[in-house]
Amino acid sequence: MVQPVADDAGGAEGGAPVIDADAFNRFEAAGWEARAGSYGFLSPMTQRVGGTVLAAAGVGPGRQVLDVGSGPGDLAAAAADLGADTVGMDVAPSMVRRAATAHPSIPFRIGSFEAIPVGPATVDAVVGNFVFNHVGRPEAALAEARRVLRPGGWLALSTWDAPRRNRLLGILLDAIAEAGAPAPDRLPAGPTNFRTDEELRDLFARAGFAEVGISHLQFQAPVASAGELWDGILESAVRIPPLVIHQPPDVRARIREAFDRLAAAYRRPDGSLAIPVAVQVTRGRRT
């Protein structure tokens, strides 16, 4: 079992991993800093979720909205298109530059979800598309979201559902597990990459959010080939690629063989793939 990423519900086999949240956050920040140029494959999938996240947070004209982990800025841009007064924020300066170049009318700033650089009770909505699973201290991130929200404001965060449902990541994670590839030492253990609905509800409730609810989105992502899926994930993710790249050649070959075989289950008559994608969107209201 590849403990830091492949686990479905949170625990590692044989007990909880020892987490160094600072080391984990440094690893994530450095990884995303290096990804700004190549992050692209996942964007069409994450953008399909954006409308649900914005609706869950009540984003609309005149609302003051903070997009945390804004990446290339697509969610912030969608919020601005709805007439919201939007600010984006990301821990990776290269992502901030990319977003600011793509969306010059929206302010993007550097900052961490665990220490949001805005004052208390200053925004109507906090939204985050696929960032919650990248923070070393999820409780601190939720406390920060609550701090910056005005009473009555909504927090909405999307996360990838379990790999057995979200085959976009699950195919490669299953292939890594099947090949028996150990996680390299240089990969710091972090909080689980995937959370059950119960875990998400519990985290939000313990952070003081009310009316906590989860929407589930399922759709199929069209991908031209197994090779495109392989390259896309290795170029767009941060914690999964080291599980492949840092293996010896024979293990990498076993992972690829398993990956191609598992991906073939989703092949369409024209040879392309239709990959099942599953996402949770969790929201809670600041009381």
Query: Is the Cβ–Cβ distance between 126 and 155 less than 8 Å?
Result: yes
DSSP labels, 111-178: -BTTB-SS-TT-EEEEEEES-GGG-S-HHHHHHHHHHHEEEEEEEEEEEE--TTT-HHHHHHHHHHHH
Regarding 32 and contact with ligand SAM (CB under 6 A), the answer is yes
4, 69, 138, 191: residue in contact with ligand SAM (rule CB under 6 A): 69
Contacts of 25 (CB under 8 A, 6+ apart): 91, 112, 114, 135, 136, 137
Q: How far apart are CA 84 and CA 59, in angstroms?
A: 7
Regarding 134 and contact with ligand SAM (CB under 6 A), the answer is yes
91, 181, 273, 281: residue in contact with ligand SAM (rule CB under 6 A): 91
Regarding 112 and contact with ligand SAM (CB under 6 A), the answer is yes
| Beta carbon of residue 43, minimum distance to ligand SAM (angstroms, whole number) | 6
Q: How far apart are CA 262 and CA 83, in angstroms?
A: 43
Query: Is the Cβ–Cβ distance between 214 and 200 less than 8 Å?
Result: yes
| Beta carbon of residue 24, minimum distance to ligand SAM (angstroms, whole number) | 10
Looking at the Cβ atoms of 46 and 282, the one nearer to ligand SAM is 46
Regarding 277 and contact with ligand SAM (CB under 6 A), the answer is no
Looking at the Cβ atoms of 35 and 254, the one nearer to ligand SAM is 35
Angle, helix 93-102 to helix 21-35, in steps of 10 degrees: 40
17, 71, 153, 242: residue in contact with ligand SAM (rule CB under 6 A): 71
Query: What mask of x and - would describe binding to ligand SAM in positions 34 to 53, judged by CB under 6 A?
Result: ---------x--x-------
Looking at the Cβ atoms of 130 and 154, the one nearer to ligand SAM is 130
Binding site for ligand SAM (CB under 6 A): 25, 28, 32, 43, 46, 68-72, 74-75, 90-92, 95, 112-114, 129-131, 134-135
